[in-house]
Structure 1
Amino acid sequence: MSRYNAVLARNTENAPKSIGPYSQTVAFSHYNNLSAQLPIDPKSGELVAGGVKEQAGQCFKNIKAIVESIDHIMDDIVRITIFLKNISDIDAVNEVYAKFFPSYVPALTTVAVTALPMNALVQVEALISNGEGTIPEAPQAGDLIKAARNTENAPVSPLSTQAVAFSHYNNLSAQLPIDPRTGKLIAGGVKEQTGQCLKNIKAILESIDVPFDDIVKINIFLKNLSDIEAVNEVYKTFFPDSAIARAAAYVPARTAVAVSGLPMDALVQIEAVVSHGDGTPPQVVEDRHGIVIKANNTGGAPKSSLSTQTVAFSHYNHISAQLPLDPKTGEVVNGGVKEQAGQCLENIKTIVESVNHVMGDVVKINIFLKNIEDIDAVDEVYTTFFPGGIPARRTVGVSALPKNALIQIEAVVSHAEGTPPKA
């Protein structure tokens, strides 16, 4: 089995020990998935003294320590996600962020959430390129290059790159409803803003000759969860986009959450993860073309017309965020947060097993909690599904979840067999 991709979980003493049952970084194939970093001093295990600037600096120092512990550098980061307690702190955090990325800037998403673990003011996570891959004793295409690109047809920012591709994925910066000609929010309400976000994503993809239906995962951040139906109405006019996708009724995996604040006081922000069949050179031709998207639903987990339960491309499966819904009734299960957490994870397990994988193949888990105080109760359930604490993880408190749920969980799963052309 030494020739097969392996899930590689690692920790370093130079960064804070995880405050829950998860690893600092989990690599698979050509990506490293880092757990979201809190502003914890690794020596004391406590939050650093000071305000949001000091906390932001510590988050990035922790990321840098993890990155360097696995023989990488900060410029290998393809995406940064910043979670703020107060959106008004964005300029102060950006000032710190810029010091860690003085030339190259990754794809970027910034949102404000209701609460963070340990009552922190900021939490930062990173996705890292992994050119050497994870085949034991068989380095993979170590000379793969990162392709960072911008187009004037979408909003340009000095703090982020619109699209950063590595190997077989493109990671897009979260798009605000900004008119690229004026640099300002467009006029109108949430429908108009949703349309502009998706138009910006489409413009970025068209600039790199990637069709809209190559999106494998969409994340929607809403200021008001009550706007979800209006957003969905616009969303359905963009997906499916092509005749082929319509024939297959293909829609990406999806997550939608309410956040407490967005940059520029926007009502909605949307980010996308995109398949990149051509890869990033140098690659031999036979390794670059013909990889297919594999979308799958199972009757054993809740279904939605707006999302596919799991979308695989190359060496990853992207699973739509799971609510604590009983797949038979479509309703939230009875009980408290433990029962709801268990149902979310059961739904994920069912989806994972439906594509012939196991929970040990999960590399990243993202948890959205209505009450951050529920984290210990959730961990009690979580460890029964992940007794080894292997996946990297992020936990945030959000203002509201669909169906008034207490918890929602999404997952990224390794996919060793890849997605070659169908025979």
Structure 2
Amino acid sequence: MSDYNAVLARNPEQAPTPIGPYSQTVAFSHYNNLSAQLPIDPATGEIVSGGVTEQAKQVLANLRAVVEGIDHVMDDVVRLSVFVTDIADVDAVDSVVATAFTDHLPTRTTVAVAALPLGAAVQMDALISCGEGTIPNAPQAGDLVKVVGNTANAPQSPASSQTVAFSHYNNISTQLPLDPATGAVVAGGVAEQTRQCLANVKAVLQGIDVPFDDIVRITIFLTDLADLDVVDEVYTTFFPDSAIARAVGYLPARTVVEASALPSGALVQIEAVVSHGDGTPPQEVEDRHGIVIRANNTDAAPRSPLSTQTVAFSHYNHISAQLPIDATTGDPVPGGVADQARQCLAHIQAIVESIDHSLDDVVKVNLFLADLADIPAVDEVYSTFFPGGVPARRTVGVSTLPGGALIQVDAVVANAEGTPPAV
């Protein structure tokens, strides 16, 4: 019997057959990473007929099929990500989602994007708790509990919880630039909105006694990438936050995504994943306190002054989004989408190998494409990096990527050895 957690990829029979080289769910340690679900009828492999309500029902049915196919329940979902192609459809989707959860509301990200695979109007993926863990033949801490938190100092939503902790991670609902007192978008432009988003994230963390520098991953959704310089100017006033983090120059892993629209007409929204060193009961104190964040960069992949290439905490590594840039020159690689996909994935491989891991440890990949018609070309390259199709996957179409790239890729990686307590 192994003493180490194992990557466990599964494709439940009752769920739709994956439409690409990926697995429907990949579990590692205390989390299951689910692939994005489309409104596909599992019997026909086709998008269901009807409008966004019918599609949202099918998406949730497919999520449920995956979840129940691995002996879990929908109330094990800790984070739900919802992608639509028309922001006006969010209310209809929310009314369907509201029927899926009875015990607690997961954290949420909702964003409109330029396109979804197969021309779908809605797509959802999820992160679910894995109380039994994935040590072969050795269930671990099967009675771990979820801890749900909300504070009046940040905007509250009837559709989601602000934070849901499980084991050694907190998952934070994506924060919009809403004034908590009024529920309205703050006055001003993208700088003021960015400041409010980050202030809301900070308020959520203060509500659960977690320091801001415990953030291991940030995703920024912008309606106009031309605003990124302004966003970054505000961003640097929040990160690093503490004197210790400033001394070591700690910055979370980061992904920037252009949205076609955001809820409440916002210009920006920010999602955070947070380390949770004290764990959730019944983890013993000696097993949970003092686990360290490990940040790492390698010259084999492009560096950024605003993010770390990989940030490990406990049993996961979080990889910053990779663009098709030559790490030596900083220039875009020549060629088409296949060449660009190869470069992005080569960067991820270089980062993963720089921390003594391999691509077999990757549990989730997020693909952002400027043209979804490029999926077959990307998959041909992708399959050479992931021949077993193990990682779970999300694919969305966006209007623009940084630097005019055709593709951007980020990833989550299993970290079997974990990160030890500080000595």
For the aligned pair, the TM-score class normalised by the smaller chain equals over 0.9
Identity of aligned residues (%): 69
- For residue 288 of structure 2, what is the aligned residue in structure 1? 288
2-structure distance, mates of 1:397, 1:303: 25
2:32 matched to which residue of 1?
Answer: 32
Match of 1:78 in 2: 78
Matched positions, count:
423
User: What is the Cα deviation at residue 102 of structure 1?
Assistant: 4.1
Task: Report the AA paired with residue 375 of structure 1.
Answer: I
**How much has 1:12 moved relative to structure 2?**
1.1
Partner Cα distance (2:284, 2:129) in 1:
19
Matches within 5 A, 1:68-107: 68-107=68-107
SS in 2 for 1:80: strand
Q: Is the 8 A contact 1:8 1:28 kept in 2?
A: yes
SS at match of 2:32: strand
**After TM superposition, what 4+ stretches of structure 1 lie above 2 angstroms from structure 2?**
none
The correspondence of residues 386-397 of structure 1 with structure 2, limited to 5 A, is 386-397=386-397
Unaligned runs of 5+ in 2: none
Q: 1:270, CA displacement in angstroms? A: 0.2
- In structure 1, what is the equivalent of residue 50 of structure 2? 50
- 1:158 paired residue number: 158
The question of whether the paired residues in 2 share the 8 Å contact of 1:4 and 1:135 is answered with yes
State the 1:273 CA deviation. Answer: 0.0
Equivalent residues of 1:30, 1:130 under 8 A apart? yes
> In structure 2, how many angstroms separate the alpha carbons of the residues matched to 1:229 and 1:294?
27
Contact 1:312 1:415 in 2 (8 A): yes
Amino acid at match of 1:372: L
The amino acid of 2:36's aligned partner reads A
How far residue 242 of structure 1 moved from its aligned partner, in angstroms, is 0.3
Aligned-pair Cα RMSD in Å: 0.7
- Within-5 A mapping of 1:303-342: 303-342=303-342
Aligned to 1:242: 242
In structure 1, C-alpha distance between the alignment counterparts of 2:106 and 2:422, rounded to whole Å: 34
In structure 1, C-alpha distance between the alignment counterparts of 2:416 and 2:390, rounded to whole Å: 17
Conserved 8 A contact 1:295-1:310: yes
Q: Distance in 1 between matches of 2:342 and 2:148?
A: 39
Please give the alpha-carbon distance, in whole angstroms, between the structure 2 residues aligned to 1:396 and 1:365: 12
Residue of structure 2 equivalent to 1:125: 125
Whole-Å Cα distance in 2 between the matches of residues 340 and 27 of structure 1?
29
Q: Which moved more, 1:29-38 or 1:63-72?
A: 63-72
Q: Secondary structure at 2:377's aligned position in 1?
A: helix
* Matches of 1:400 and 1:168, distance apart in 2: 35
Q: Which amino acid aligns with 2:333?
A: V
Secondary structure at the counterpart of residue 174 of structure 2: coil
| Structure 1 position 101, deviation (Å) | 1.8
Report the Cα distance in structure 2 between the residues aligned to 1:95 and 1:283, rounded to whole angstroms.
36
Amino acid corresponding to residue 154 of structure 1 in structure 2: A
- The answer to whether 1:182 aligns with 2:182 is yes
Which residue number corresponds to residue 61 of structure 1?
Answer: 61
2:13–2:69 CA contact under 8 A, matched in 1: no
Gaps of 5+ in 1: none
Which residue is equivalent to 2:135?
Answer: 135
Counterpart position of 2:198: 198
AA partner of residue 29 (structure 2): S
8 Å contact kept, 1:13–1:42:
no
Contact 2:320 2:410 in 1 (8 A): yes
Distance (whole Å) between structure 1 residues aligned to residue 332 and residue 61 of structure 2? 40
Is the 8 Å Cα contact of residues 216 and 253 (structure 1) preserved in structure 2? yes
SS at match of 1:379: helix
| Deviation per residue, 1:128-169 (Å, 9 max, x gap) | 000000000111100000001100000000100000000000
Q: Secondary structure at the match of 1:419?
A: coil
2:115–2:398 CA contact under 8 A, matched in 1? yes
Equivalences for residues 205-220 of structure 1 within 5 A: 205-220=205-220
Q: Equivalents in 1 of 2:104, 2:206: separation in Å?
A: 22
Residue aligned with 2:295, SS: strand
Paired position in structure 2 for 1:222: 222
CA contact (8 A) 2:198 2:270 kept: yes
The residue number in structure 1 matching 2:109 is: 109
Partner of 1:362: 362
Offset of residue 36 of structure 1: 0.2
**What are the Cα deviations for residues 32-64 of structure 1, in whole angstroms up to 9, with x where unaligned?**
000000000001100011100000000000000
Whole-angstrom CA distance in 2 between matches of 1:317 and 1:103: 29
SS at match of 1:82: strand
Instruction: State the 1:186 CA deviation.
Output: 0.3
Q: State the distance in 2 between where 1:120 and 1:350 align.
A: 34
Deviation at 1:103, TM superposition (A): 4.8
Tell me the residue number matched to 2:383. 383
